[in-house]
Structure 1
Amino acid sequence: MGIIEILGIAGSVSLLAGWRLYLCVFATGLAMRFDAIPVPEHLASLAVLENPWVMGIAAIGALAEFFADKVMWLDSIWDTVHTLLRPVGGALLALAIVDPSDPAMQVIAFLLGGGASLAAHGGKAGARAVVNTSPEPVTNVAVSTAEDVATAGMLYAVYEYPYWAGGIALVLLALTVWLLMLARRIIKQIFSFGKTPKELPPE
């Protein structure tokens, strides 16, 4: 597996960790256990991800996240609690996947992985906060289910077809930016609702 494919996998998984951290930890451990991705020698300690106990806890976390994410406002509380956990988890997942010979690349992978997870988390949390303004629960469940399916599908694609990983990472990054911009615009409209033209802030 070449460096481009490995970087693509690291970027994709870090971005997806901003949506579903526990599912990404479980899937990465599973991929390592079945040798879908190699464990770097200098990061052998991160092989703990394939430990049955770690995978079991990650599976429980993924199950809890699956249900918490379907309940209006509970999903936002869950996202708030995971504001620190997801970026750190994404950064560590990037380290677990990338095997650079240059130590500087390890630092870059850690920082970019954490930054990608934080951005994806911000896009998800912002979009879900907007969805929660809808009084009916169907939209919330539909959006959460779409996230579940998309995360599982893209994780499978990333590990099964590493040559696609770079493209998937770019698509995820574009989606994250779009979600952040959409959430910002809708939240701005919500806070501007009911104001007279004179009260509206200048563009």
Structure 2
Amino acid sequence: MEIIDAIALMLGAAWASGINLYAAVLVLGYMGSTGYTTLPPALEVLQDPLVMGIAALMYFVEFVADKTPGVDSGWDAIHTFIRIPAGAMIAAGAAGGLDMNQAAEFGALLLGGSVAATSHFTKAGSRLVINTSPEPVTNWTASVTEDIAVVGGLWTALNYPVLFIAALILFILLAIWLLPKIWRAIKRIAAKIRGWFKNKEAPEPESAPGNEEIARRLESKSADEP
């Protein structure tokens, strides 16, 4: 495997894993098992029918969860601890095709984890903001777009590595610009939710007595005086 091909596979697998790990594993395993591409030795395990079967099952579960508003954000929160480490490991396995030393493979592990984290947090943050919309169409559209992007991105990485690397650089620059805005939007949403709970918990203030009530109190007080 040429250097540019291995780098594109390493970065593409990490990026795709951060968005939809099970789709990435399934696509790579399918392409490797059908002979469409030759995976590095460390990634040949993805071609195993058992691995592909589990990936297909989990992809179906994610397909449903990812298109359900609210459930998708919970799913993303759990997969923060799955997608990023898995993306790092797959990237390190892809880098094994370059016959690098252990230090370089560890660097590939760190780079893959960083790329997977970038794509994961961009997806999870944007979906959390999208979930504030009451209609589900935007959520479904975003989910389907992500699925298509994973398949298309991996295909591009394997067939047009230079184009994919250039597109990935643009994506990272966009994420650097977008993530702070997403974070501020999430903070505003969290503040609004806290405000709702505070308003529900706060006791209603006692209404001030009206003019007639004040007059009655004064008359009662005057009658009691000698």
What is the rounded CA distance, in whole Å, between the counterparts of 2:31 and 2:93 in structure 1? 11
Deviation at 1:82, TM superposition (A): 0.5
TM-superposition CA deviations, 1:69-116 (whole Å, max 9, x none): 110000001101101100111012112211232221110111111121
What is the rounded CA distance, in whole Å, between the counterparts of 1:116 and 1:167 in structure 2? 14
- The 1:148/1:175 distance shift into structure 2, 3 A limit, reads farther
- The 1:123/1:84 distance shift into structure 2, 3 A limit, reads same
What is the rounded CA distance, in whole Å, between the counterparts of 1:142 and 1:182 in structure 2? 21
Higher relative contact order (CA 8 A, sep 6+): 1
Say whether the 8 Å CA contact 1:12–1:172 is kept in structure 2.
Answer: no
- The total of aligned residue pairs comes to 190
What is the rounded CA distance, in whole Å, between the counterparts of 1:68 and 1:51 in structure 2? 26
Deviation at 1:59, TM superposition (A): 1.2
In structure 2, which of residues 44, 62, 65 is the aligned counterpart of residue 65 of structure 1? 62
CA RMSD of aligned residues (A): 2.1
- 2:75 corresponds to: 78
Say whether the 8 Å CA contact 1:23–1:59 is kept in structure 2.
Answer: yes
What is the rounded CA distance, in whole Å, between the counterparts of 2:174 and 2:60 in structure 1? 25
- 2:40 corresponds to: 39
Q: SS in structure 2 opposite 1:141?
A: helix
- 2:85 corresponds to: 88
1:33-182 pair list within 5 angstroms: 33=33, 34=35, 36-40=37-41, 43=42, 46-98=43-95, 99-100=97-98, 101-182=100-181
Deviation at 1:191, TM superposition (A): 5.5
Which residues of structure 1 form unaligned runs of 5+? 194-203
Query: 1 or 2, which has the higher helix percentage?
Result: 2
Q: TM-score, normalised by structure 2?
A: 0.76
Say whether the 8 Å CA contact 1:15–1:117 is kept in structure 2.
Answer: yes
What is the rounded CA distance, in whole Å, between the counterparts of 1:191 and 1:57 in structure 2? 36
Q: TM-score, normalised by structure 1?
A: 0.84
Q: Which amino acid aligns with 2:69?
A: M
Q: SS in structure 2 opposite 1:135?
A: coil
- 1:15 corresponds to: 15
Deviation at 1:8, TM superposition (A): 2.2
- The 1:67/1:166 distance shift into structure 2, 3 A limit, reads same
Q: Which amino acid aligns with 2:16?
A: L
What is the rounded CA distance, in whole Å, between the counterparts of 1:84 and 1:184 in structure 2? 19
- Could you tell me the percent identity over the aligned residues? 38
Deviation at 1:10, TM superposition (A): 0.9
